[in-house]
Amino acid sequence: MGVGERLSGGISRLRDRQRRRSEDRFAERFAAQWSQVRAERRRVVVEPSIEAGPSNVRRADVPWAVDLAAAWSWRFLVIVAAGYAVAWTLARFSVVSLPLAIALLITALAAPLVELGDRVGLNRKLSSAIVVLGGLAIVGLLLTFVGTQVAQGFNDLAKQVVGGLGEIRDWLRDGPLQASDRQINDYTKAAQDLVTSSNEQIVSRLTEVGTTIGHIVAGFFIILFSSFFFLADGDRIWAWVVRLFPRAARLRTDTSGKVAWKSLTQFVRATVLVAFVDAVGIMLVALALKLPLVPAIGVLVFLGSFIPMIGATLSGSVAVLVALVSQGPIVALLMLAGVIVVQQIEAHVLQPFLLGRFVSVHPLGVIVAIACGVLVAGIAGALIAVPLVAALNAVAQHLANYTEVPDPEAGHKVAP
């Protein structure tokens, strides 16, 4: 065999070995890839995980005073909005809410009489009925007495009215005004026209007057029945109200309500004393001026003085009119001065200091409460403002000093 044949055979064998190695490597790679594909098919699919980390949002860097002011501001706005909603609701249903408030005041005044009946052995419902009907009878007798006094003195007053008008006419003509007869007649005609136009307006509003009378009658019966049930079942009604609160707040609610009720009772007693002083003061002035109908004037002033600030003045104006008719303008001015003096004593001495002492409210707080009540709800607001402020003040002081101590016998917490 020659060299060329051996070389050709070696090259051929080398190529065969390379081809077999290439085929083996391909088979190995194919087998590895196939095994990987089969393994991926058998592998369980795992949900992607979300890793949490620290927040990248920081609180606004504001001064501490600004942050505190903002916290107080939004809370204050929420409280004001809630108070406005409550006031709007009460005003919307004033035909019911106002008589209920008056019934509470009457109950606070008459509660000691019902408790006296309990002590002597009377049934509480019977005692409540006797107190309510007795109070209604007393008020009716007082009003009847006033009407009788006015009716008895009406003829004399009518004659004195004619004479008083004549004196006023002479004073306008001969006094400092030096008015002529024509001017006096013009003034008289203008007054008649004013009265006539006022009557026409009153006639045109008969529907409104009828509605108002209906509300007054409904309010009277609401006051009557509410006063009876408050006196007879007040404890049960209050227990039902307390159960409306969460269990954790019931004890504080109960003690706060009792504190508020005590303050309300003291306020009503102080108001009765103020009304009595007003009536006696104006009656003494009327007696000194020798006016007629003095007892009737005293009764009207006593009943009217339950309206704070203006009640005694409105009822005292009746005394001024009686003085004008019976004794003339000079005595009427003296009577007006007496009414103003008594009213000033009530407004600046009795109301602030007596009520402030009894209900633990500063005199300035009493005056501000009455003014705010008049602005918000007129006479009704003035009637309710002071007892409401007194009750709220008593509750606030009670809760500020409230501490809970365990009661081993009752098994719950009580306020000392």
Give the integer Cα–Cα distance in Å for 168 and 416: 69
Reported confidence tier of residue 84, pLDDT bands at 50, 70, 90: confident
Which segments of 120-205 does DSSP mark as H helices, in order?
Answer: 124-152, 154-174, 181-204
pLDDT digit string (tens) for 59-70? 667 788 888 898
pLDDT of residue 72 exceeding 90: yes
Are 308 and 351 in contact, with CB atoms under 8 Å apart?
yes
Distance (Å, whole) CA 29 – CA 27: 6
Strand boundaries in 350-402, DSSP class E: none
Q: Identify whether the C-beta of residue 307 lies closer than 8 Å to the C-beta of residue 379.
A: yes
Which two structure tokens, joined as six digits, stand for 32?
Answer: 């590895």
How many helices and strands (H and E) does the chain possess? 13, 2
CA 353 to chain centre: 23
Q: Domain ranges in the chain?
A: 87-244, 249-403+412-416
Kindly tell me the sign of the dihedral angle through the C-alpha atoms of 101, 106, 111, 117: negative
Confidence band, pLDDT 50/70/90 cuts, at residue 411 = very low
Mean pLDDT of the 124-139 span = 87
- The pTM (predicted TM-score) of the whole model is 0.62
Token duo for residue 132: 């309510």
In this prediction, residue 53 has a pLDDT band, given cuts at 50, 70 and 90, of low
pLDDT of residue 409: 45
**Phi-psi sector, 45: left (phi>0), alpha (psi -120 to 50), beta:** beta
DSSP conformational letter for 60? -
pLDDT of residue 174: 60
What's the chain's average pLDDT? 75
The pLDDT of residue 76 is above 90: yes
